Every structure is written in structure tokens, then in C-alpha cells.
Amino acid sequence: MSIKKICANALLASLLFALYFIFSQILYLEFVTFTVILFALNLPRWNALWIVMTFVMLVWLSYGIATWSLMYIVIYPTFVIILKLLKKQLTGKLYLTAAFAFMMGLLVGNMVDLPFLLFSKEVTLMYIIMGFQTTLIQGGIAFLGILLLYEPLAKQLSKLIEKGKIYE
């Protein structure tokens, strides 16, 4: 991997972390899922996977390794792999991509709670039920984000990549 690619991936991982940090201060706003989709569907090869893994490491360095943050290394890279595998089916189909984003937004909150199964099934079920209102809103935000922001941001991202000849 060239220095240019490493720097671009580090910059995009830092952008993802900045979005995570800024919007985590506002309840229910979560744009990580949207950004992961944007990167996975628009960056060549597996660069999005490196970006997401770097993002998770930044979260761990900033907030520490906890039950919820450990799940990030499972959730977000898995999303990237699934998106890469479905890229042909999702490309050019905005509503399908938005529906997929909605499901991913729902899953993030619920999957973060899965390690609580180690402690108690009842506690896990309670977390999932109580967190459903949050994940429903997060899924809705991911859905609307794709409908409203995906195409313009994908065009700008493509222009930046082509102009800088970053991933050649």
C-alpha cells in the first residue's frame, strides 16, 4: 500500500471518528452507519475495511475497550464486507440502499447489547427492548441520510479520489 493510500485511509478514518464523536454528543444522532455505507460502496478494493478498523482503534484509544466498543470490531467490519459483496446489487438503487441502511442502523444498537448475554438473558432482552426506540430512530436517520446525502457526497468523494489519483 502506498503512502498516499495510507494517508487517505487515515484521514477518512479520522473523519469517521470525528463524526462519531461530534454526533455522539447529541442523543439519537448516529452517522457512522451512513458513512460506513458511503465508504464501502465508493472506495475501491478493501480500503473501507482498513478505514473502519482504524476507526475502531481510535474509539478504543479514546474511550477504552468496553463491552460495547468491543462489538464495534465485529459490527462495522462485517457491514463493510456485506456491503462490498452486495455492491453490484446496491449501486444505483437508492431506495434499496436506504432500506439496507435502515436495517443496519437497527442492528448496530441491538448487536452492541449482545455481549450482555454473558451476564443475563433477561438483562440483554431488557437492553434490546429499551434500546429499540433509539435504534429505530438511528435506522430512520441512516435511511434519510442515504436518501438526502448519499448521492451528492458519493459524487464529491469520487471526484476527490479521481482528482488526487489516490487509489490507483
pLDDT digits (tens, 9 = 90+) for 22-52: 988 776 678 899 999 999 999 988 999 999 9
| Letter string b/e over residues 14-48, b meaning 16 or more CB atoms within 10 A of that residue's CB | eebbebbeeeeeeeeebbbbbbbbbbbbbbeeebb
Instruction: Give percent of the chain with pLDDT exceeding 90.
Output: 60
The helix (run of H) or strand (run of E) holding residue 139 is: helix 121-145
Pairwise CA distance, residues 28 & 154, whole Å: 24
Q: Which residue has the cell 429505530?
A: 136
Phi, psi dihedrals of residue 91, rounded to the nearest 5°: -65, 125
28, 138 contact by CB (below 8 A): yes
- With cell 440502499, the residue in question is 97
- Count CA atoms within 13 Å of residue 27 on its CB side: 3
Tell me the pLDDT tens digit for each residue of 46-67.
Answer: 999 999 999 999 999 999 998 7
Q: pLDDT tens digits for 76-122? A: 999 999 999 999 999 999 999 999 999 998 888 777 766 666 677 77
Beta-carbon contacts of residue 166 (< 8 Å; ≥ 6 apart): 4, 5, 8, 160
Q: What is the pLDDT of residue 116?
A: 66
**Is pLDDT of 71 > 70?**
yes
Query: What average pLDDT does range 1-23 have in this prediction?
Result: 92
Ordered domains of the chain (ranges, CATH): 3-164 (1.10.1760)
Alpha helices in 25-120 (DSSP H): 32-42, 47-63, 67-85, 87-90, 94-112
